[in-house]
């Protein structure tokens, strides 16, 4: 891979969690890396976030890897779904991807609902990516492991890695670095 774009999760920023660590690690390996600062992160909307990727991903190709966390994963899938012509990225790495969430606060339900209920055309996604890797945790308080794992395997032909005790891969669980993403990048 020569280029990598990192899409953070809901309520996050590129300098938080493991995003900036990963961006720097990729740069030291000679990979052009950008951790995006997604718009209106406290109230992410599908159209706004996907449009941001459309406007900011430069010349995606087989040497491009897209890395997402949580809602950033859905953003990547929806971006790929909309790509026209024969554009393909080499790989996507999805950390804590979800199609439905659990354990949300009442105030978060109106934000999550459109992401959960707006379908994604898996066939279109698969036309635009060489390989999909998903990293899930066995104790994520928001992402039900088996349900989301089954969707990823069945609908997206994703390779799955389950990290023990990774939580939602955030600083809340002590995760400020995520070496498994670097491993998956070279696979």
Q: What tens digit of pLDDT does each residue of 51-110 get?
A: 999 999 999 999 999 999 999 999 999 999 999 888 999 999 999 999 999 999 999 999
178 band by pLDDT with thresholds 50, 70 and 90: very high
Residue 25 dihedral angles phi and psi, to the nearest 5°? -60, -40
For 115-148, the pLDDT digits (tens) are: 999 999 999 999 999 999 999 999 999 999 999 9
pLDDT, residue 186, reads 81
pLDDT over 80 at 172, yes or no:
no
Least confident of 7-16, 62-71, 121-130, 164-173: 164-173
Q: How distant, in Å, are the alpha carbons of 47, 87, 154 from that of 9?
A: 15, 25, 24
Tell me what pLDDT residue 108 has: 93
Strand, helix or coil for residue 67: strand
- Fold for domain 3-186? Rossmann fold (3.40.50)
- Tokens 């809602």 appear where? 71
Given the DSSP bridges, would you call strands 89-95 and 129-137 parallel, antiparallel or unpaired? parallel
Write down the pLDDT at residue 6.
Answer: 98
Task: Give the pLDDT confidence score for residue 68 in this predicted structure.
Answer: 98
């Amino acid at each position: 891979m020569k280029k990598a774009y990192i899409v953070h999760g809901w309520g996050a920023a590129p300098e938080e969690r493991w995003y900036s660590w990963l961006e720097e690690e990729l740069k030291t390996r000679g990979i052009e890396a950008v951790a995006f600062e997604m718009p209106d992160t406290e109230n992410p909307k599908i159209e706004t976030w996907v449009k941001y990727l459309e406007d900011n991903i430069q010349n995606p190709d087989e040497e491009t890897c897209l890395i997402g966390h949580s809602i950033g994963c859905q953003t990547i899938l929806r971006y790929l779904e909309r790509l026209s012509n024969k554009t393909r990225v080499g790989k996507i790495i999805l950390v804590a991807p979800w199609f439905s969430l659990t354990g949300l606060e009442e105030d978060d339900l109106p934000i999550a609902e459109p992401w959960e209920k707006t379908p994604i055309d898996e066939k279109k996604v698969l036309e635009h990516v060489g390989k999909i890797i998903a990293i899930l945790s066995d104790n994520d308080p928001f992402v039900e492991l088996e349900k989301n794992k089954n969707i990823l395997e069945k609908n997206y032909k994703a390779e799955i890695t389950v990290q023990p005790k990774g939580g939602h891969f955030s600083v809340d669980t002590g995760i400020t670095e995520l070496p498994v993403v670097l491993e998956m990048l070279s696979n």
